[in-house]
Chains A and B, each alone.
Chain A
């Protein structure tokens, strides 16, 4: 077999491996059968069941709120950190700063989750804050995780941008703040947007860290889905998968249309 054919074969097999489970999950969401992944005729009953499942719906809205808050905080923190790493040269404590901001990228989730929980417990015992754990502690943990990713993206983007543009603006009399707002910010805006989206997705997808740092009142969507999967698969999981795939697909289509329109 020629190398071209071999590569194409593995590429096809690899994509089939990645996509087939997801496609089947979505297709069988429209099956009436009560056993998941069995075809019992077309039906939307599992979408109705999902919409009536208060635990899941509540957890979904809580997760969206946590993810949006954590992503926003992550962009502020990670943006500042990426800026400092790209522009401040060898500032004092740079090595430690870089190690700390990047630590969540390389730490196993169980270690991050456990150590953050121990922090919240220690803070509560010594200072009285936070008074119990829940959505807010999850948000803080996810912001820390997201900031690590945002910092990498922003630092890489700043390393690519031409500093002379900023310097030219300042030579022409712009204050550093104006130069930042009119030149640098638009240049790194795509990185900030990508970083926000990444932090948002990471937060929506995390079950391990959230399970450690959350409390009784803070069941996120992944925590609820994990509990469902532990009890055994139901077609509601298929319906939820279909909703998410269709939502992501719609968002991507919208983004593509918007990008085409801008050109």
Chain B
């Protein structure tokens, strides 16, 4: 098969649907807002970016998103490490079952899982019903629309993606290293921190970034489970675009988010290429 016949259609597709949108995004970030349709006028204006620096609202949204993404990725990692160890230690037949149980929730629909959490955490929800039924509390605790609820939803959504790279790295880990350390009298915690963790650190970093990068732009979970004041960048971008119809500011926000994520993205790609 000719190389050109294989490459040409893919090149055309990528230039039209990946490269061109990036260029247009930048062009509109530099455009001027306008009342027309579409609501901008092409220009070389920094007004969109200037809005982002003048109003602390946007900077806060970016910082809050990075903070929540880091907490989500950190939470995922804390759960994922022992889970990946448990799966890697299981006998091969059981391992397949555990991996399937890990990935299956991914097939049940992201929004339905968010819906399930809403049903559990609402004031009239299942957890409050249980707590009141047991007499632990007289009135419903405010669980939903809190930062905690948002974090639970995000960790639930991203956890499998953190387990997989760690599992792959732990599977490659030479078990005799840990056994040797144990023979020499090291306790399990010591073995973890002096043998397992250093050897699997690149995979842990990859797992962290694999969660952090998409979580930084997350819109749906903050919108449906977070407090109203949790104005993360994904949500602000959405509102600027759909409600305020300020396309240049929305585009400038997207470009800024992208620039902020370039370092973690490059780092992730390096780790992937090495792993």
- Taking Cβ atoms with an 8 Å cutoff, the residues of A that contact B are 2-4, 6-8, 10-11, 13-15, 17-19, 21-22, 24-25, 28, 35-38, 77, 80-81, 83-84, 88, 91, 93, 97, 100-104, 106-111, 114-116, 118-119, 121-122, 125, 140-141, 144, 147, 176-177, 180, 201, 204-205, 207-208, 212, 222, 225-226, 229-230, 233, 237-238, 240-241, 244-245, 248, 252
State the CA gap A25–B6 with chains docked (Å).
Answer: 46
Check A88/B156 contact, CB under 8 A, given A24-B119, A208-B219, A230-B224. Answer: no
Check A24/B120 contact, CB under 8 A, given A101-B10, A177-B1. Answer: yes
Stretch of B45-53, B105-113, B135-143, B197-205 at the chain-chain interface: B105-113
B179 contacts chain A at the CB level, 8 A cutoff: no
Q: Which residue of the partner chain, among A35, A93, A111, A222, contacts B124 with CB atoms under 8 Å?
A: A35
A114 smallest CB distance to B (angstroms): 5
Q: Is the CB of A84 within 8 A of B116?
A: no
Q: Is the CB of B83 within 8 A of A14?
A: yes
Chain A residues within 8 Å of B217, by CB: 108-111
Q: Is the CB of A36 within 8 A of B119?
A: yes
Q: Is the CB of B24 within 8 A of A115?
A: yes
Q: Is the CB of B115 within 8 A of A225?
A: yes
B175 contacts chain A at the CB level, 8 A cutoff: no
Check A108/B265 contact, CB under 8 A, given A10-B86, A18-B102, A80-B6. Answer: no
Q: Is the CB of B9 within 8 A of A80?
A: yes
B11 contacts chain A at the CB level, 8 A cutoff: yes
Chain A residues within 8 Å of B3, by CB: 84, 88, 91
State the CA gap A147–B12 with chains docked (Å).
Answer: 14
B159 contacts chain A at the CB level, 8 A cutoff: yes
Q: Which residue of the partner chain, among A13, A118, A147, contacts B24 with CB atoms under 8 Å?
A: A118
Check A225/B111 contact, CB under 8 A, given A106-B265, A109-B217. Answer: yes
B17 smallest CB distance to A (angstroms): 5
State the CA gap A13–B273 with chains docked (Å).
Answer: 33
State the CA gap A226–B111 with chains docked (Å).
Answer: 7
Chain B residues within 8 Å of A106, by CB: 213, 261, 265, 268-269
A107 smallest CB distance to B (angstroms): 7
Closest Cβ neighbor of A112 among chain B residues: B21
Q: Which residue of the partner chain, among B14, B160, B218, B251, contacts A101 with CB atoms under 8 Å?
A: B14
What are 8 A-B pairs with beta-carbon distances under 8 A?
A10-B83, A11-B98, A18-B105, A80-B6, A110-B238, A118-B28, A208-B220, A248-B107
B92 contacts chain A at the CB level, 8 A cutoff: no
State the CA gap A240–B109 with chains docked (Å).
Answer: 10
Q: Is the CB of B83 within 8 A of A11?
A: yes
Q: Is the CB of A37 within 8 A of B119?
A: yes
Q: Is the CB of A201 within 8 A of B107?
A: yes
B117 contacts chain A at the CB level, 8 A cutoff: yes
